[in-house]
Structure 1
Amino acid sequence: MKVAFLLATLAVAASAEVYLKETFDDSWADRWVKSKWKQSEGQAGDFTLSAGKWYGDAEADKGIQTGPDSKFFATYATLDKVFDNTGKDTVVQFSVKHEQDLDCGGGYIKLIPASSEKQMESFGGETPYSVMFGPDICGYSTRKIHVILTYKGKNYLIKKDLKAESDQLTHVYTLVIKPDNTYKVYVDLKEVASGSLFEDWDMLPPKTVKDPKAKKPEDWDEREEIADPEDKKPDGWDDIPATIPDKTATKPDDWDDEEDGAWEAPTIPNPEYKGEWKPKMIPNPAYKGKWVAPDIDNPEYVHDDTLYNFKDLKFVGFELWQVKSGSIFDNIIVTDDFDVAKAFAEETWQKTKDAEKEMFDKVKKEEDEKKAKEAPPPSSEEPAEEDEDDEYEDSKEEPAHVGTIKLPDEEESSGHDEL
């Protein structure tokens, strides 16, 4: 642990417990185990200690960074003691910096139960977990915060769409689950979501369902409008033909009545014709609306006040797929008190974030200036006149593809193992 941050820890309530606090110092590998998952296939990447290219404090901002590209990453640590959250808040918090400008990959953390202990040597996408929380980014369509909870052996994804931060700076993600079955999600210590475990997950079936035995009454009228029984067809309506002879037409000069028959002028649409008569429509006085089967109590619904309850949380881990590696994870805490987690974030991320941003801006400015210097000078020669046909041919060319990225098979796509 970094001594400076340990000395700066604020006083907290005596009842609060911290089950894991990790700031990643030089001894981090003594506490974290690299999974054997994907190693035999040569698809496993590594985590290395680094503060990255920009930081607020070279030592304090060290975390574990993914590398190389297009690999699976899996590592875990054991909590200081098994966490039974019965009657307690569950708080998991960590920071992540997608220094590489992550284009496709996971950035989330998992809380894993003691019941998965025999599988932890090869901890990976198939290892049962209790909570999965954090950002997941892939292109512009997927930039969300996962909150997945396990209930009776099945994983349930939050129904809300929570936006993840996708810049190249460090951000802190905090999840709080309370024993009254409510939750809160914070990003950089600001609340971005809250609600009920009952309402925002489908862990329990609905309380009510439509009565499958109900039938629409025979006299139920769903017609919004009906023909006006008082409306009558005007006299002579049906006497108006749809077409009439074209009065402007003349018999061709070469027409022979004996050979061609009696000449008749061609017909044209009758401007007086109004079509088939229909009575006007009026609101139906007997309209009852669209019939819907009545709700009844769902016989499969059983209320459960223990949705929040995980009695044997024992491990914390990262299990990720990243196309472009370089994410740095730091400052993990698992506790039963949000104030403890908040104080920890204030003593770590908050103290260095402004300096990190300053260094980031400086590095980016230097990179831009270097690119400008290395760019070839503009040509002083007059551009040759292009033949119009050549210009047309050039315009038809499709843009060249810079390269392709082979994604893992869907069943192995653990970078996005939502459920």
Structure 2
Amino acid sequence: MSAPALLPLALALALFSARAACEVIFEERFEDGWESRWVRSDWKRSEGLAGNWIHTAGKWYGDDADKGIQTSPDARFFAISTKFPQEFSNKGRTLVLQYSVKHEQKIECGGGYVKLMSGYVNQRKFSGDTPYSIMFGPDICGTQTKKLHAIIQYKGQNYPIKKTVACETDQLTHVYTFIIRPDASYSILVDNRERESGSLYNDWEILPPRKLKDNKAKKPEDWDDREYIPDPDDKKPEDWDSIPSEIPDPKSKKPDDWDEEDDGEWYPSTIPNPKYKGPWKPKKIKNPAYKGKWKIPWVDNPEFEDDPDLYVFAPLQYFGIELWQVKAGSLFDNILITDDPDYAKQVAEETTLKNKDAELESFEEAEKKREADEEREAQAAREEGERRRRSRDRRRDSHSKLRSRDRARDYDRRARSKSARLREDMKSKYSRGYDDEDDDDDDDDDYYPDHGHDEL
């Protein structure tokens, strides 16, 4: 790839000079036309679980023109790959794998790692079961898993690094670099700073160890591991043992009222003797026969068989991103495969790391906006809750008034009914009686008042 057109001339010349001194096997900045170089896998698509890739600079960035590809939506499997212009063999050469990733979603459980693959790969079927030569990058899940994977394939078997290498867990872009050299040494860098280094022999359990501890070995009887010994020429002074540890206190005086007949013989109190030096011990000198602390010796492991090509992979042909994410939003960019660690450092400085401060500022502004939006939503929710509470209170008051009114009506109705019954009872008690024996139809003859009246 040529240097981006917008780069200053001096920077473009520097990049061209660096490229001339190294080989760039593959480089991807995800500029226009990137989709023609990449193949989206159909893995999990029939199940509706295949995720998408969005070409974007993200929600916050140092340069809005610097775009990558971002996972979306949540709870999906993601798989995409690209083929190198030509295969690359790292035999006799340094291999540098570098890329950047930003977890905008504040990832809770998901990967951000990448893979290098050898041999033929059906890119439409690229999946988690596709064999790979190297898997490298961050993996985060809960509070326990926050590490960098560094898995290498050897004779058909995958071997993870034995060390726990911490990854970044914030929401900013970071550059991850894995370097493997022809002497089987390696380095892992984060943002151009070495985070781990060592040897493929020691930090991966690929080959049996060169040496083993000889557990049958025993310390020789004449082994002297005393670093210091008593000085045989040092002798105890003749008056050493005559010096008492305590002496009478010169300030102690017998009380004036002390009666030896009643109180017994008086003795002054004692104090530590400043001249007393404790039990005598000869001074220590260096032991001329000292051989050091004895340790179990290491011996050659009979099962070890060296492989000078331990660092060599089958010719590399593909770069792929394959992962599962509960919460999507990881953005990948600035992928580089080269044989020159210095050039990789330069690319990191001139891309991701150059925009680091501007990205942080953009992130902080986005966080302030998010917090303000959340506060507005919370305030609106509180106001809505208060409105609903008042509405419930009004309905409750209204229902209470209706019930009170109904109770009052029932009370009035019962009171009127009771009053009517009382009036009827009183009327019946004090009104005229009836002549039950008079069966004629003359009503006037049947009725007579309860109290007396003049007879006709």
Which TM-score tier does this pair reach, normalised by the shorter chain? Answer: 0.5 to 0.7
Task: Report the equivalent of 1:12.
Answer: 18
TM-fit CA distance, 1:209? 5.2
1: CA distance between counterparts of 2:92 and 2:44?
38
Kindly indicate whether the alpha-carbon contact (under 8 Å) linking 1:97 and 1:328 is maintained by their aligned counterparts in 2: yes
Task: Report the equivalent of 1:207.
Answer: 210
* One-letter amino acid matched to 2:5: V
Task: Report the equivalent of 1:356.
Answer: 359
Which of 304, 322, 325 is matched with 1:319 structurally?
322
Task: Report the equivalent of 2:85.
Answer: 80
Structure 1: gaps spanning 5 or more residues? 217-291, 381-419
Q: Say if 1:119 and 1:210 are closer, same or farther in 2 by CA, change over 3 A.
A: farther
Kindly indicate whether the alpha-carbon contact (under 8 Å) linking 1:204 and 1:301 is maintained by their aligned counterparts in 2: yes
Task: Report the equivalent of 1:98.
Answer: 103
**What are the Cα deviations for residues 73-98 of structure 1, in whole angstroms up to 9, with x where unaligned?**
01111112211111111001000000
Kindly indicate whether the alpha-carbon contact (under 8 Å) linking 2:76 and 2:325 is maintained by their aligned counterparts in 1: yes
Kindly indicate whether the alpha-carbon contact (under 8 Å) linking 1:5 and 1:347 is maintained by their aligned counterparts in 2: no
Task: Report the equivalent of 1:108.
Answer: 113
Q: Say if 1:354 and 1:295 are closer, same or farther in 2 by CA, change over 3 A.
A: closer
- Asked if 1:168 is matched to 2:171, the reply is yes
Task: Report the equivalent of 2:143.
Answer: 140
Kindly indicate whether the alpha-carbon contact (under 8 Å) linking 1:26 and 1:49 is maintained by their aligned counterparts in 2: no
Structure with greater contact order relative to length (CA < 8 Å, sep ≥ 6) = 1
Of structures 1 and 2, the larger Rg is shown by 2
**What are the Cα deviations for residues 132-167 of structure 1, in whole angstroms up to 9, with x where unaligned?**
110000011100001111111110000111111011
Task: Report the equivalent of 1:33.
Answer: 39
* One-letter amino acid matched to 1:323: V
Structure-2-length-normalised TM-score: 0.62
Task: Report the equivalent of 1:127.
Answer: 130
**What are the Cα deviations for residues 310-330 of structure 1, in whole angstroms up to 9, with x where unaligned?**
240001010100000010000
2: CA distance between counterparts of 1:215 and 1:350?
54
Partner of 2:62, secondary structure, is coil
Task: Report the equivalent of 2:194.
Answer: 191
Kindly indicate whether the alpha-carbon contact (under 8 Å) linking 1:120 and 1:127 is maintained by their aligned counterparts in 2: no
TM-fit CA distance, 1:372? 2.2
Which of 377, 380, 395 is matched with 1:374 structurally?
377
Aligned length, in residue pairs: 303
Task: Report the equivalent of 1:155.
Answer: 158
TM-fit CA distance, 1:198? 0.3
RMSD between aligned residues: 2.6
Q: Say if 1:5 and 1:374 are closer, same or farther in 2 by CA, change over 3 A.
A: same
* One-letter amino acid matched to 1:201: W
Paired-residue identity, %: 51
Structure 2: gaps spanning 5 or more residues? 219-294, 387-456
TM-fit CA distance, 1:123? 1.0
- Asked if 1:70 is matched to 2:99, the reply is no
2: CA distance between counterparts of 1:215 and 1:336?
46
2: CA distance between counterparts of 1:357 and 1:338?
26
Q: Say if 1:196 and 1:366 are closer, same or farther in 2 by CA, change over 3 A.
A: same
Q: Which has the higher helix share?
A: 2
1: CA distance between counterparts of 2:328 and 2:7?
28
1: CA distance between counterparts of 2:72 and 2:8?
29
Kindly indicate whether the alpha-carbon contact (under 8 Å) linking 2:201 and 2:209 is maintained by their aligned counterparts in 1: no
Task: Report the equivalent of 2:416.
Answer: none
Kindly indicate whether the alpha-carbon contact (under 8 Å) linking 2:179 and 2:186 is maintained by their aligned counterparts in 1: yes
TM-fit CA distance, 1:109? 0.8
Task: Report the equivalent of 1:405.
Answer: none
- Asked if 1:182 is matched to 2:185, the reply is yes
Mean CA deviation greater in 343-352 or 192-201: 343-352
* One-letter amino acid matched to 1:372: E
